[in-house]
Structure 1
Amino acid sequence: MTESTAPATTDAQSLRRLVNGVIWPGFIGTSVPSWLAEALSDGLAGVVYFSHNLLPDMPGQPAELSAAIRAANPLAVTGADEEGGNVTRLQFRAGSDIPGAAVLGALDDVTLTEAAGRAIGTLCRAAGINLVIGPVADVNTNPLNPVIGVRSFGSGTDLVSRHTGAMVRGIASTGVGACAKHFPGHGDTSGDSHLSLPRLDMTLDDVKRVHLPPFRAAAAAGAAAMMSAHIVIPDLGEAPATLNPAAGALLRGLGFDGLLITDALDMAAVQATVGMGQGAVQSLLAGADLLCVGNPSNPYSSGGGTDGTGQGGAGEDDYLQVRDALLAAVADGTLPISVLERAAARVAAFASGAARVPAADHPADPAQEPDWVAVAARACTVSGSGGTAAVAMPRLPSGVSAVDVVDLRTAHNMAAGATENFFAAALAERLTVRTLSLQELVADKEAVQVPPGLDSPSPRPCVVVLDALLDRGQAAGLAELIDVVPDAIAINAGLATPLPVAPPMPIINCFGSSRVSARAVARLLTAEDRTGRTL
């Protein structure tokens, strides 16, 4: 028997408010555009912040923006991807001051991880954010994973489980909700769901054994939400987990009754397959409660016009595409009202609980926060040189005042976005830094003419930055650089992946490219901090 679509008493306005109550869009602008204010006053669930919504030179602006959003809807859910390390919205331009998951996993000190969660929660609470889209609970078992990598606590199920739980506890202790991601586990994929539809080629039994325990730990620690992954698990069927009722049932089978949030519906795994509108409908039918629409500034977003004020209101088209698809699905009987009511009730329950937590209940205590740069320095390891099992932490020559920095990284992580070279910036706080491409470095060295019988003039020390030691392009660039500057020092901002043949140079593995990790490496290279470990 087909479920009833809409009760006769449901008028158009009530239905629109019900639909709005499960939609969580992004927007372009640093203030509330008119379309967003109207949607919020009409029951929109809330908003997701991205870096383009925030003004780095105005410390109070995020809180003012959140206040303006809550003026339109006092129960608005405001969220942001704030993971620490590489992925930050509030500190995007300057770089995160809080170590990322791989740094914390390398140290394996749950007390530090819980403290990092408190720091993230405090940062978000001050900005008026009531739901952190984090931590990453994925077990990164595939070293070639292009989107998770150092965003994960590591490749071991137990390690990731205990640190996911600790991070959730830390965030929750500040009165901010935590959303563990990406259920049921994005860590063994070789594709990026921003760009394609990845497959997790594992049996369901292996998924349950390897990838589900961190989500159980998140639930036990008090996670307010889980975010689904746009990945196919063949044993669950060919639909991506976000759109797959079997994946939704798998989550509820863990005993979790909080919010199930979709990963962004504008990502290619959904938009290029079923489309955002159908993706929204299918997500709700699969058990989702809150539809994360996505970042309208992304090149694959449908974008959206302006709000008529010149302040920018892009994002409206994406929101309308999702809203109108849901209204149409109710009208044609595809989407039962009861499904919407269930989802909206969970969203409202979270929002009401978040609104009841006074700010004074969770005062910040900066004096108790660790020295995060020292923490990140302790996580650094050294590998190389020339196959040596263990080498000392390298340092720049005593008295050096200038250094060349060559960045061999070929692309940015889509979740993190494009950032400046924080390693060059951190070294520039201590030394004169010249940033060059590999081609410029080669040309510069070839231009130096050394008379026969004389040694080469003392060159500037060279630091080279990589983030994927197994990437052929970066490996080839490193080999070319070594021919020109054999005494260069390499900084690996990615996973500390064992190499078949170690290059004849020391490699500092710092497990991230954030500002805090960059400053840690700068301390080590200038011998201010000698706490890094060796491999």
Structure 2
Amino acid sequence: MTDLDTIRRAVNGVLMPGFNGTTVPDWLANTEGLASVLLFGHNTPDAAVTAAVTAELNAIIPGVIIAADEEGGDVTRIQAATGSLLPGACALGAVGETELTGAAGRSLGDLLRAVGVDLAISPVIDVASRDDNPVIGVRSFGADPAAVGAHGVAFARGIQAAGVAACAKHFPGHGDTGTDSHVDLPILEVTPDLLRERDLAPFQQAFDAGVETIMVGHLRVAGYGDTPASLNGELIGLARAMGFTGVVISDALDMGALAVDPGFEEACVQAVLAGSDLLCLGNTAKRDDEEMYHLAAGALIGAVQDGRLTLDRLAESAARVTALRDRILGLRRTRAAVPTIERANAAMAQVGRDVATRALALPQSVRGRVAVQPGGLLADLRHTVDFAAGNSAARLPGILADRLGLTLTRDPEAVPALVVTRAPNPAVAELLTAHPEIVVVHTGVPGSAPREARNLVQAYGGGVANAEAAAAVCKP
């Protein structure tokens, strides 16, 4: 009979927990054989602290793969406190130059390398097929599968050129869903032909280009039963059949899509049985990080002891994770010296300004009279919660107000000079109908901009670069 310590080490070899704070807790330091750790915004208040955190992790847990859920644009962890200097995928797709997208990916990779991150959980290569998608939106490069694939490959190659592994997500495609998987289980109603030609096409491009990892989403796919993709061996097997040989990462297993059925602990077991190599346990903010780890580890240990899960299956994933670690080291041996944090930030800011400025210079990005005189009010009418972005896109209204001399207001009776929007909102439609002179800065996908807006700036996201470019357009 296999002893408990051996089982525990094997289980740790497929886990990617998070933790609270900016120092390594004792429980994490004692996880022998841990495969990976995922950083979130509460671990990365600034770049210098992030570098100290990663250095401590490497010293205490040698060989651990340090990952960050960092996309740039609206979803940033490394720059969560200030907002991302990159404008995000939607702006890159709008500009339409893959060389520029590659430069953006390289700038993100350089920053991650500078702070000690090994794996970026990006790019998003979901095809933005629905304007009302509540979770993908401006995180996608657009609605054309070929273009999404081309930009996704360019961004991933840019990241990997810096010596950081990239991750294509959310397999097999989350773009045509109307439910946020942070809240509930989305359903992808799609024919086999449409799935292959639209949703899977960018992933095929990424596989052919050698992306190192993929993240599998929590969504039910028509024709593949009731089991979500992240727990579905047939769908993960499809990625392998398409030629992907790298590491399969589950989306965060604490998300609402799995909370009731099958629940966190059982989801951990089913994800490994289905073929996941690394289990992303989820964001520990305001939660007991140690308990999350022990629940996941305990469920997997129990599954081994009960005979549901074999050590051979765990060893198979551990071998792929080890190979990933070796490839990351290989990337770094052939790359330039690690950039300083200051140089990486400066390069990212330059790329970000270039992308955002060029996106807003497109004819379709501005309509009407958008110059805003100082002294008026600004209202943030982005009424839906963005679980993926968290608070990282919350700074755009403040930047606009500061640059344009406006005052932020939450008074529902006020008539602002400028409003910020992201998704369709009946209250916005009513306000614009009554006051058509109001300028709208829209941070969602172009198709979700309010039709009633006569004076519109399409910002393509809510990052710092998006805000600065929008402010420049609105300045009288």
Match for residue 495 of structure 1 among 427, 432, 445:
445
CA distance in 2, matches of 1:13, 1:249: 31
Specify which structure has the bigger relative contact order, considering alpha-carbon pairs within 8 angstroms and separated by 6 or more residues: 2
Distance in 1 between residues matched to 2:181 and 2:210, nearest whole Å: 27
The answer on 1:334 being equivalent to 2:326 is no
Equivalent of residue 54 in structure 1, options 22, 44, 48: 44
Match for residue 292 of structure 2? Answer: 318
Per-residue CA distance 1:180-214 (angstroms, 9 max, x = gap): 10000011011111111111011223211111111
User: Structure 1 residue 288 and structure 2 residue 262: aligned?
Assistant: no
- Preserved contact between residue 200 and residue 232 of structure 1 (Cα < 8 Å): yes
2:163 is aligned with what amino acid?
A: G
Of 405, 410, 423, 1:437 maps to 410
Map 1:40-51; keep pairs closer than 5 Å: 42-51=32-41
**Equivalent residue letter for 1:475:** P
- Listed as ranges, the matches of 1:83-482 within 5 Å are 83-297=71-285, 303-304=287-288, 315-355=289-329, 357-358=332-333, 361-364=336-339, 370-380=350-360, 391=367, 394-396=370-372, 400-419=373-392, 421-442=394-415, 462-468=417-423, 471=424, 474-480=425-431, 482=433
* Equivalent in 440, 444, 467 of residue 518 of structure 1: 467
| TM-score (structure 1 length as normaliser) | 0.83
Distance across 2 between alignment mates of 1:355 and 1:371: 27
SS at match of 1:523: helix
Relative to structure 1, the CA distance from residue 61 to residue 198 in structure 2 (aligned partners, 3 Å threshold; closer, same or farther) is same
AA aligned opposite 1:50 = F
CA contact (8 A) 1:465 1:493 kept: yes
Deviation at 1:19, TM superposition (A): 0.6
**CA–CA separation in structure 2 for the residues paired with 1:382 and 1:415:** 30
Deviation for aligned residue 1:144: 1.2
Amino acid at match of 1:394: V
- Number of aligned residue pairs: 469
Partners of 2:448 and 2:245 in 1: CA distance: 41
**1:494 & 1:243 partners in 2: Cα distance?**
30
Tell me by how many angstroms 1:382 deviates. Answer: 6.7
* Partner secondary structure for residue 129 of structure 1: coil
Match in the other structure for 2:21: 29
Equivalent residues of 1:374, 1:520 under 8 A apart: no
8 Å contact from structure 1 (residues 383, 506) kept in 2: no
Normalising by the residue count of structure 2, what TM-score does the alignment of the two structures yield? Answer: 0.93
Over 3 Å counting, the alpha-carbon distance change for 1:482 and 1:404 in structure 2 is farther
CA distance in structure 1 between the aligned counterparts of 2:54 and 2:20, rounded to whole angstroms: 14
Residue 358 of structure 1 and its aligned partner are, at CA, apart by 4.9
Whether the aligned pair in 2 keeps the contact of 1:172 and 1:222 (CA below 8 Å) is no
SS of 1:14 mapped into structure 2: helix
Tell me the CA shift for residue 374 of structure 1: 3.6
Q: Is the 8 A contact 1:75 1:352 kept in 2?
A: no
Are the counterparts in 1 of residues 169 and 214 from structure 2 also a CA contact under 8 Å? yes
2:90 is matched by which residue type in structure 1?
A: A
SS at structure 1 position matched to 2:379: strand
Could you tell me how far 1:432 is from its partner in structure 2?
A: 2.8
Note the C-alpha offset of 1:498.
6.7
Structure 1, unaligned stretches of length 5 or more?
Answer: 1-7, 305-314, 385-389, 443-460, 528-535
Unpaired runs of 5+ residues, structure 2, are: none
